A = this chain, B = another copy of it.
Amino acid sequence: MEKTPIPLRSFASDNNAGVHPEIIEAITRANRGHVPAYGNDPYTQSAIRKFEEHFGADIAVFFTFNGTGANVLSLQALTRSFHSVLCSDYAHIYTDECGAPEKLTGCKLIPLPHENGKITVKAVHHAYHGIGDEHHAQPRVISITQATEMGTVYQPEEISALARFAHEHDMFLHVDGARIANAAVSLGQTLRQATRDLGIDILSFGGTKNGMLGGEAVVFFHPEQAENFLYLRKQSMQLASKMRFVAAQFEAMLTNDLWRRSAEHANRMASVLAKELNRIPGVRIVWKVEANGVFAQIPHHAIEKIKQQYFFYTWIDEESIVRWMCSFDTTEEDIRKFVAVVADAMKY
């Protein structure tokens, strides 16, 4: 590692990337004079209008600092402490938020087995029991991640079916959309088609992983569920004082299809990456590459070797599966160099 120059861009995560130039410009533009703090400013109002353009009227939109904040606050809005939340056993809320959902909501999270990163109505149905029994945490929210933690994408009818099951059973459907842009692009859908039109109740709309400096949005498709959200957000320490700088990023993201351009590029790069990797003997692509991530099974010694030059995450250690993500700024040149390193590592 000492001798090799550090590559400018890695495939570790889309949040290892920096900020899209249009976002930086938007921040700079917003840096003029004083405006009220905490969201009572024209930038925030304008960004919310952008959300309404994309998702339709009668929504409630709130900005948070990060994805964990957006997810946990979504759950807080829908639950009391005696409820439970059904999600994949690989859901970000289950495995990567250090117990924030449990700590903040008091709820039990029920892990369901996934199929290609997705949970099914069947699995939800299996976990839906103990209703009305005071000894049992009461199922209240189904939470899915779109695109999934395995780089796959729920089909529209899969989401509708989960929404239908939720609503028929006095539950709600939350979508962790840290990569919802990548999913919508993958499906050829608008943001609205990919979310609201499928019956989901609350969306964590991701910004950071799609080229923002920092910021996520919670979008309520039933604004009455947002009744207490201002208090919950403040109490959960997710209220930005200089909100205009989060808002300005979202406004840029939703202007001239920046969200789509960035996600499309990242998805396309992942597909190029997968294609190149597929040519290397011994590399097995584990799940369909439907968004901006490639999950590959390669020998442990190859993992070690590649990590000498690139930082990335082993996704499932015992199965020797690694994750490689593309982002808005990944180049074909980056892929070429990386694939060469992988190919070299696989030779031994």
A residues whose Cβ falls under 8 Å from a Cβ of B: 7-10, 12-13, 15-19, 24, 27-28, 30-38, 65-69, 72, 80-84, 95-100, 102-104, 106-109, 111, 126, 129-130, 134-138, 208-209, 213-214, 228, 230-242, 244-245, 311, 317-318, 327
A129 closest partner in B (C-beta)? B317
Q: A34-B18, A241-B66, A317-B129 are in contact. Are A108 and B109 (CB under 8 A)?
A: yes
Contact call A16/B37, Cβ cutoff below 8 A = yes
Contact call A99/B103, Cβ cutoff below 8 A = no
A231 closest partner in B (C-beta)? B82
Contact call B98/A234, Cβ cutoff below 8 A = yes
Chain B nearest CB from A181 CB (Å) reads: 16
Q: Which of B33, B126, B136 contacts A9 (CB 8 A)?
A: B33
Bound-state CA distance A208–B16 (Å) is 24
Contact call B97/A135, Cβ cutoff below 8 A = yes
Contact call A16/B28, Cβ cutoff below 8 A = no
Q: Which of A36, A98, A108 has the most CB of B within 10 A?
A: A98
Q: Which of B17, B97, B99, B138 contacts A84 (CB 8 A)?
A: B99
Bound-state CA distance A29–B91 (Å) is 34
Chain B nearest CB from A69 CB (Å) reads: 5
A-B pairs with beta carbons under 8 Å apart, 12 shown: A10-B34, A16-B37, A18-B30, A67-B241, A68-B239, A69-B237, A72-B237, A81-B103, A81-B235, A97-B237, A99-B235, A214-B242
Contact call B31/A12, Cβ cutoff below 8 A = no
* Residue numbers in B under 8 Å from A245 (CB-CB): 19, 213-214
* Residue numbers in B under 8 Å from A208 (CB-CB): 241-242
Contact call A134/B231, Cβ cutoff below 8 A = yes
A238 closest partner in B (C-beta)? B237
Chain B nearest CB from A346 CB (Å) reads: 23
* Residue numbers in B under 8 Å from A130 (CB-CB): 95
Q: Which of B10, B19, B241 contacts A214 (CB 8 A)?
A: B241
Contact call A233/B134, Cβ cutoff below 8 A = yes
Chain B nearest CB from A326 CB (Å) reads: 11
Q: Which of B18, B95, B129, B242 contacts A19 (CB 8 A)?
A: B242
* Residue numbers in B under 8 Å from A83 (CB-CB): 99
Q: A28-B24, A134-B233, A317-B129 are in contact. Are A241 and B15 (CB under 8 A)?
A: yes
Q: A19-B242, A65-B240, A109-B108 are in contact. Are A235 and B82 (CB under 8 A)?
A: yes
Contact call A31/B9, Cβ cutoff below 8 A = no
Bound-state CA distance A18–B107 (Å) is 33
Q: Which of B8, B27, B107, B109 contacts A34 (CB 8 A)?
A: B8
Bound-state CA distance A240–B102 (Å) is 20
Bound-state CA distance A174–B54 (Å) is 45
* Residue numbers in B under 8 Å from A28 (CB-CB): 24, 28
Contact call B241/A134, Cβ cutoff below 8 A = no
